Amino acid sequence: MEKITVNASRTYDILIGSGLLKDCGKYIREVSSAKKAAVVTDDNVDRLYSEKAVKSLESEGFTVVKFVFPHGEHSKSHETLLNLYEFLAENDITRTDLLIALGGGVVGDLTGFAAASFLRGVEFVQIPTSLLAQVDSSVGGKTAVNIRAGKNLVGAFNQPILVIADTDTLDTLTEEFFADGMGEVVKYGMIRSEKLFDLLMKGNAKTNIAEIIKQCVEIKRDVVQHDEHDTGERMILNFGHTLGHAIEKYYNYEGITHGNGVAIGMAVISGIAEKKGLVAKGVTEKLISCLKANGLPYQTEIPKEKLFELSLNDKKRASSKIRIVLCPEIGKWEIKTLTIDEYKDFLTK
């Protein structure tokens, strides 16, 4: 088992390894004296993993209650959140009890926000079960729900007291969701680690997954420790996301996953920047090889003008300027601030 410690507004450990779920109660008991634990999960994950988690929690003396909601992004809503608050109240969850997010990023974001707001704050543990949640969303304390106006618009920074990433849970993930997480994994290599990138070039991520997750988590931990509240450097985690979100929006968030959008977004922005001499020669070709090796797409037929328009609504746009992340070399990042006109020229000329 690997243990990575995060020193943010709260200090907590991230445990990564095989077979951790069956002992989750023991690890949680080491950091919590709560009497009750409310396990929050979606229907897919509930079917696969709740029993194991609940058994382990009960064996450590936790009284367990369980809230299950339908899987999918549409559940990251105020409706689910309100139902969860009512459930917690009906089950007499107090401020000294504990919430446990068992699932992917949707479960983690929703539970983390409920934990930040219910009774003005209850501690919570993340047990991420998707690759995206293990390398990204369970680390760093961003929690949120969606509203009609957009994704993640209501949320809080709220660090968990522990993260337990059991890599065995990834065995049941669909290929689509595995590849989705790999988009973010390649991003970590691009922005911060040539060593990770080289490992990913081999294209057999599943055989090295614990090591890959560890390296991603260490990178995210370092970035979060420098900029927990996302006022500067944390933005580098958005490499490929400005165009990625535009591509997702173009397809109305259907038929393209977030990780695929990010993969294309990284390749397109890198290709444009390389032509303009802002990225070293050959970086984009290597990036594309790495994306291909991991079953990810790298090109789009969407016209550049359309990508420009769609990315302008992106929340990374600050007033009349837009900040974009480039990787001048593999493992190195740079943030460029452009006026909207400069950004249009950058993308389309």
Ligand X SMILES: NC(=O)c1ccc[n+]([C@@H]2O[C@H](COP(=O)([O-])OP(=O)(O)OC[C@H]3O[C@@H](n4cnc5c(N)ncnc54)[C@H](O)[C@@H]3O)[C@@H](O)[C@H]2O)c1
What is the contact surface with ligand X in residues (CB under 6 A)? Answer: 42, 44-45, 48, 71-73, 76, 103-107, 109, 129-130, 132-133, 136-137, 140, 142, 151-152, 169, 172-173, 177, 180
Can you count the helices (H) and strands (E) in the chain?
14, 12
Nearer to ligand X, 32 or 238 (CB): 238
CA atoms within 13 A on the CB side of 180: 20
Shortest Cβ 275–ligand X spacing (Å): 30
Nearer to ligand X, 189 or 271 (CB): 189
Q: Cα separation of 141 and 130, whole Å?
A: 17
Structural contact between residues 286 and 218, judged by C-beta atoms closer than 8 angstroms: no
Shortest Cβ 337–ligand X spacing (Å): 23
Q: Cα separation of 131 and 141, whole Å?
A: 17
User: Which single residue brings its beta carbon nearest to ligand X?
Assistant: 105
Shortest Cβ 229–ligand X spacing (Å): 13
Nearer to ligand X, 199 or 216 (CB): 216
Alpha helices, DSSP H, located in the chain: 24-29, 43-45, 51-59, 78-90, 105-117, 131-132, 175-192, 194-201, 209-226, 241-250, 258-275, 283-293, 304-312, 340-348
Shortest Cβ 48–ligand X spacing (Å): 6
Cα 208 to Cα 95, 213, 215, 234: the distances in Å are 40, 9, 11, 26
Q: Which residue, 258, 250, 31, is CA-closest to 124?
A: 31
Nearer to ligand X, 155 or 331 (CB): 155
Nearer to ligand X, 106 or 347 (CB): 106
Structural contact between residues 162 and 12, judged by C-beta atoms closer than 8 angstroms: yes
Shortest Cβ 267–ligand X spacing (Å): 20
Cα 292 to Cα 180, 181, 213, 219: the distances in Å are 13, 14, 20, 23
Structural contact between residues 266 and 322, judged by C-beta atoms closer than 8 angstroms: no
Structural contact between residues 192 and 328, judged by C-beta atoms closer than 8 angstroms: no
Nearer to ligand X, 6 or 173 (CB): 173
Shortest Cβ 8–ligand X spacing (Å): 13
Phi-psi group of 24: left, alpha or beta (phi > 0 → left; psi -120 to 50 → alpha; rest → beta): alpha
Nearer to ligand X, 85 or 157 (CB): 157
Q: Which residue, 295, 216, 23, 126, is CA-closest to 208?
A: 216
Nearer to ligand X, 230 or 334 (CB): 230
Shortest Cβ 192–ligand X spacing (Å): 16
Shortest Cβ 117–ligand X spacing (Å): 15
